[in-house]
Amino acid sequence: MHEMALTESVVALVEEAARSEGFSRTKAIVLEIGLLGHVEPEAMQFCFEAVSRGTIAEGARLDIIRVAGQGWCLDCGKSVPLAERFGACPECGRHHVQMTAGDELRVKELEVE
């Protein structure tokens, strides 16, 4: 389960932000997780409670925003929705699509005191 390591990294980022910004408590963490990123939000939620114990993130709310897959079709020259990695363009059917969204894992926002 790689979500445990990912959650540990998120908590480490929050702790680093607390040191550099001087806050003493984290109330909420908002994560953006791409639908095509092979990360299970439920597993992140499960791991967060265990990983955050004894840290500045303990007791914080973990909010997860799912980001839809998006790509740029090199043949059509436009942005298209992607339902799978390396999928075909839904407009022209070709596979010359560069993913532009949907595989991210990003701390979007922190609510702190």
Please indicate if the annotation marks 47 as binding a ligand: no
Q: Give alpha helix (H) positions in 3-64.
A: 3-21, 41-52
Given a contact cutoff of 8 angstroms between Cβ atoms, the answer to whether 104 and 34 are in contact is: yes
Query: Using CA atoms, how far apart are residues 108 and 36, in angstroms rounded to an integer?
Result: 18
Would you list which residues are annotated within the binding site for Ni(2+)?
A: 2
Annotated binding site: 2, 73, 76, 89, 92
- Binding residues for Zn(2+) are 73, 76, 89, 92
